[in-house]
Amino acid sequence: MRRLLFIIIPAIVTIGHSIRPPIIDGREADLHEFPYQVSLQWNFNNGSRPTHFCSGSILNRDWILTAAHCMENLSGNGWYEIVAGVNNIAHEEPGAQRRNVSRFVKHPLFNELTIKHDIAVILLSEPLHLNGNIKTMRLATGSTVVLQTHAKFAGWGSISKTMVNIFPDMLMKVTLPLRTLEECAWDGRVDSTQICAAGYQNVSACTADSGGPLTVTMDGEEVQIGVASFGEKPCLARYPIVFSSVLHFYEWIQSAIADD
């Protein structure tokens, strides 16, 4: 099972499965501070607690936005689930909603080797009941101008700076400085379909943070500009984290969820 593609320097690791990225040097999120964020989990069908491996954001009652690599190489006799309205994934708060996954739609150009077009949408088995603790995410469009220098990020990914993962039960949050493509320093791996944040000894994300939303505040509302894709491992914040650009993929997202 995979988590976040995190590149083992000099290699890459996705922030999902064994690649699941953690929030490094972050702090615990307030209860329902991120009502649009969900935990993607694998139910092993053996009576054990389902395991978190990626995050996602709520597009509407039926659809979740996440990273394409989050659904690669999962095996076993279990199934995917998502949990909304939760901070503590070990002891879910009252009102949390759990759904099975009916369909997983990856971008048709997703490339696991280059980690390009790392974006996907998930159709739920039944609609979520939206309320004050479970809300939809506003997406940046192709015409959105991002003037902010910092963004918000949250996740249940590893909080360890070593190769040994330590996963928190509580949702962790962090503020990340946004980087230009020139600052991204991933040896030509990054292009205009992606966004970079953190790195250079700043705070970072880590394994199992993949698929999570990178947001900025616009007109008093959180707007998603990125989907967590990959970073370095161990998670030492030496290199920026790479996100798929929601601005670039906005039209594809709308088309994918309209096909239902």
Q: Write out pLDDT tens, residues 63-107.
A: 999 999 998 655 668 899 999 999 998 888 899 999 999 999 999
pLDDT: which is higher, 200 or 37: 37
Mean pLDDT, the chain, integer: 83
The CATH number of the domain where 194 resides is what? 2.40.10.10
Q: Which of 104, 136, 168 delimits the end of a domain?
A: 136
Kindly give the pairing relationship between strand 138-139 and strand 120-124.
unpaired
Last residue of a domain, one of 136, 164, 193: 136
pLDDT confidence tier of residue 51, bands split at 50, 70 and 90: confident
Statement: residue 18 has pLDDT above 60: no
Enumerate the active-site residues. Answer: 69, 118, 210
Domain end (from 116, 136, 156): 136
pLDDT, position 45: 86
pTM: 0.87
Q: Which domain holds residue 71?
A: 35-136
Does one domain contain both 165 and 210? yes
Whether the per-residue pLDDT at 180 is higher than 60: the answer is: yes
54 and 100 share one domain = yes
Check whether 238 has a pLDDT greater than 70: no
